[in-house]
Amino acid sequence: MERSVLSIGSNLGDRLTYLEAAVDDLAATTGIAVRGVSSVYETPPWLPVTDSRFYSIVAIVETNLDPFSLLDTVQEIETRHGRTRGLKWSPRTLDIDIITFGDEESSDQELTLPHPLAHERPSVLLPWLELDEDAKIAGVPCKELVEKLDCSGIVRLGRLR
């Protein structure tokens, strides 16, 4: 089993319901065991494409799937819950990103590992640190990374359900 960190977000529709559904779907998937789920964080839009605030969580899973099968699985979950792929960073019902997959590094066009923007997103780092205070991206402690970021406007809302 390989440990993977997933960032799950929504900024369209019933955001909490979409986050809960994503966690439920992951837990129901053969080959995936959900080991931890962070609190929900409300964050400002990452880019000025939308004015919708994101609800974000991090889930730590263990899986016997390979990284590309995990990617296929999370994209199917996104689609099942109304995600459409259009303009980059546009509003979406569900967005699931693979942040890390064990210690794997990949620069594949379909899947870059670790996630190339995770180090600059408080919406990933804060919930991840809640679950693992020793979290690292490419060997760099997430605590150090988050200290360099503007975390204003981020609100911890509490746990799902």
Kindly name the residue from 24, 53, 97, 132 that is annotated as catalytic.
Answer: 97
Catalytic residue, from 15, 25, 95, 121: name it.
95
Catalytic residue selected from 15, 25, 83, 121: 83
Could you confirm whether 53 is annotated as catalytic?
no
Torsion of CA 152, 95, 84, 2, to 10 degrees: 160
Q: Is 97 a catalytic residue?
A: yes
Q: Examine the residue annotation and report whether 95 is marked as an active-site residue of this protein.
A: yes
Q: Based on the residue annotation, tell me whether 103 is a catalytic residue of this protein.
A: no
Q: Enumerate the active-site residues.
A: 83, 92, 95, 97
